[in-house]
Structure 1
Amino acid sequence: MSFHEIRFPATLSFGSVGGPERRTDVVTLASGHEERNTPWAHSRRRYDAGMGLRSLDDIAMLTAFFEARRGQLFGFRWKDWADYKSCVPSSTPSPDDQIIAIGDGATSSFQLTKTYQSGASSYERPIKKPVAGTVRTAIQGLAQTEGTDFTVDPASGVVTFTVPPQFGAEISAGYEFDVPVRFDADRILTSVASFQAGEVPDVPVVEVRI
């Protein structure tokens, strides 16, 4: 897949609107009851980058970024300011934030994940674009050292331990992460509102599957 490992300027994404979407097929039966099903195992996020722009310099930065990505052609990283940590927004990521796997004594590589829990139900989201240098891990509560005990691929979110964790060992991780996205249009429309201010009313961005 055509993807550039570069983040959309965080100063421009701050103030944008967006969030997760799901696809649900709803069939209403003759009795009035419903049957609901979804073809998606994972949610998909959409954002509007235009909401975060405030000046002509912002528009220039957006235009340069858009042109360098060739519009929709190349994907890129996006910081979702409402959801970019393994912990709650007010906390700092720690090695025990998310349980990502249970060791089997042979497997050494594991995908980073984030679990969303509400009551008895939960959803496990694969994290494919962790921010380099922010990933912390632990095995059975014992913190591991990056570069010595484990490595992480920031392009895939796969953590690889030097020694496979023992059978039954709880493997946990904490991190910051980006969302893999692309522009959802091949054009942007700009307007100069004043000498120092501009406006881009709609810059749609959509998550891509990695």
Structure 2
Amino acid sequence: MAFHDVRFPVRIAFGSTGGPERKTEIVTTGSGGEERNAVWANSRRKYNAGYGATSISDIHKIITFFEARGGRLNGFRFKDWLDYKSVSPDAAIAPTDQLIGTGTGALATFQLRKTYTSGAQSWARTIQKPVSGTVRVAVNGVEKTSGTHFNVDHSTGIVTFTGGNIPTAGQDVRAGFEFDVPVRFDVDFLSINLAHFRVGEVPDIPLIEIRP
């Protein structure tokens, strides 16, 4: 299996449905209480791209994209319009949005991540597929220059500081960015009935996140 560094049609993605999924085991005790256990440490996104298709032209684009990916065989990028930035979708990106690490004086590489916080709880999501040209980085609140002070691997989400620019011990390393979700088709067969599509039935085109 390979990953194709191409993006699912963005306009069609805008009308898709989906979001994060978690897996939790719940056991009901004899007294009626519950014991809950998180089976997955991280969530996994699932989408249905069929809801974004509003014309026969859209369906043709999806079929073309599906055939080029080999069905479920190869992954690709998907823009989740509800969660595609280091901040909320309606906010502007800043280089101080997300803490991605703390300098040691020797550590040169930092993985992009986005932390979701509510109350006292938080969860850090690994960002594998930042969008080229959108990554901004700051060290101790001072923005650095891409290509001079640091480089970004857009296939892994790893930020690497160049020689002489490695953060010193205790310095906060932060980043702001746009990102795509690495996904694949979750079927090897697209069942599309154009007669039904014309009268409003949405074709089922499931996508599922490829997790690290």
TM-score scaled by length of structure 1: 0.95
Check if 1:180 corresponds to 2:182.
yes
Instruction: Give, as a single letter, the amino acid of the residue that structure 1 aligns with 2:171.
Output: A
Q: Measure how far apart 1:192 and its partner are.
A: 2.5
- Classify the secondary structure of the residue corresponding to 2:130: coil
Check if 1:190 corresponds to 2:182.
no
Q: Is the Cα–Cα contact under 8 Å of residues 96 and 174 in structure 1 kept in the other structure?
A: yes
Q: Is the Cα–Cα contact under 8 Å of residues 7 and 76 in structure 1 kept in the other structure?
A: yes
Query: Which residue is equivalent to 1:77?
Result: 77
Q: Distance in 2 between matches of 1:154 and 1:45?
A: 20
Alignment of 1:13-162 (within 5 A): 13-162=13-162
Q: Measure how far apart 1:197 and its partner are.
A: 8.8
Q: Is the Cα–Cα contact under 8 Å of residues 129 and 155 in structure 1 kept in the other structure?
A: yes
Q: Distance in 2 between matches of 1:150 and 1:193?
A: 53
Q: Distance in 1 between matches of 2:90 and 2:11?
A: 19
Q: Distance in 1 between matches of 2:146 and 2:10?
A: 26
Q: Measure how far apart 1:199 and its partner are.
A: 6.0
Query: Which residue is equivalent to 1:8?
Result: 8
Q: Measure how far apart 1:41 and its partner are.
A: 1.3
Instruction: Give, as a single letter, the amino acid of the residue that structure 1 aligns with 2:115.
Output: T
Range with bigger deviation, 87-96 or 26-35 = 26-35
Q: CA RMSD in A?
A: 1.7
Instruction: Give, as a single letter, the amino acid of the residue that structure 1 aligns with 2:149.
Output: D
Q: Distance in 1 between matches of 2:189 and 2:170?
A: 52
How many corresponding residue pairs?
210
Query: Which residue is equivalent to 1:202?
Result: 204
TM-score scaled by length of structure 2: 0.94
Q: Measure how far apart 1:28 and its partner are.
A: 1.4
Q: 1:12 to 1:197 in 2, by over 3 A?
A: farther
Check if 1:165 corresponds to 2:167.
yes
Q: Measure how far apart 1:61 and its partner are.
A: 0.6
Instruction: Give, as a single letter, the amino acid of the residue that structure 1 aligns with 2:177.
Output: Y
Q: Distance in 1 between matches of 2:105 and 2:73?
A: 42
Q: Distance in 2 between matches of 1:82 and 1:180?
A: 15
- Classify the secondary structure of the residue corresponding to 1:106: coil
Q: Distance in 2 between matches of 1:134 and 1:16?
A: 23
Q: Distance in 2 between matches of 1:31 and 1:93?
A: 50
